[in-house]
Amino acid sequence: MSDPLPETAVCIGCGYSLRGLSELVCPECGRAFIPGERTTFKEDGGRLSWRRWACEPRAWHLISAPLLTVAYLCCSTKPGGLLGVLDLWALLIIPAGMLLLLILGIDYAARVVAITADRRRASLDKAKQQHAHWLRWFVLPVCVAVLISAVISLWPMRIRFHLSLKAFEDAAYSVQSGKDPGELPRQIGSYRVIDVRLTQPGDVFFLTGYSGLDRVGFLYRPDDQKSGGAYIRLAPCWYAVMY
């Protein structure tokens, strides 16, 4: 070695002492290092190297990103989304979820930049590449893609509603036939309905919750006139009232 290593030099990957080695590769984990570049190894009490980011996303990515995605998808199956499900708690949970997603994105980008800058040193590694670890790079992008698609198209609510459409149609027809809305079951399909009422001649509104101070739910409108703003068309004559 033309450049001597510090006495306290250890491997970034496993902490193995690098002094006195005949090769510029850690015998414990196979990670290469370059004596003249102090960022390629670690010193006890020294600053952490940016190269520690040059690795695949860690386990907390694999846990937090899918959990965040599943939580949002579950909440977005009801009209009003998170505000309709969590009410005032959503004022705390929504910013916390957005902050976590931002942290995940920054951490992911930092790893991409680091692994690109570390490519020359990594080419000298003798450690066997574990191909399964590369699948970790797909977890966050897939979760983000699913979240974006759910926000734009509202497909979680559309799927859940279509699975319950027959039950809602039967309830709407019975109300139009003169049945007292109060006699309807509170569980219609997969939705818990708080109240059912005729809003206009022929229109039947199924209240499923509240988004702040606004009522949200499903509206049956026989004339199937398009409505803007808070009304999202789910099926012929059926709308989700979002706020």
DSSP letter at 148 equals: H
- For 73, how many CA atoms within 13 A lie in the half-sphere containing its CB? 18
State the Cα–Cα distance between residues 5 and 36, nearest whole angstrom.
8
Q: What is the chain's percent helix, strand, coil content, to nearest 5?
A: 45, 15, 40
Rounded Cα–Cα distance for residues 220 and 60 (Å): 44
Q: How far apart are CA 135 and CA 73, in angstroms?
A: 23
Three-state DSSP at 116 gives helix
Amino acid 170: pLDDT:
95
Q: What's the pLDDT at 1?
A: 45
pLDDT for residue 229: 65
| Whole-number Å distance between alpha carbons of 101 and 96 | 9
pLDDT value, residue 91: 66
- State residue 36's pLDDT score: 82
What is the spatial distance between Cα 33 and Cα 43, in angstroms, rounded to a whole number? 13
Contact 142, 61 (CB under 8 A): no
Q: Which residues does the chain have with pLDDT short of 50?
A: 1
Find where tokens 């509202």 sit. 154
Q: Which amino acid is at 93?
A: I
Tokens of 91: 């004022």
Q: At residue 160, what is the residue type? A: R
Encoding tokens for residue 144?
């983000």
pTM: 0.79
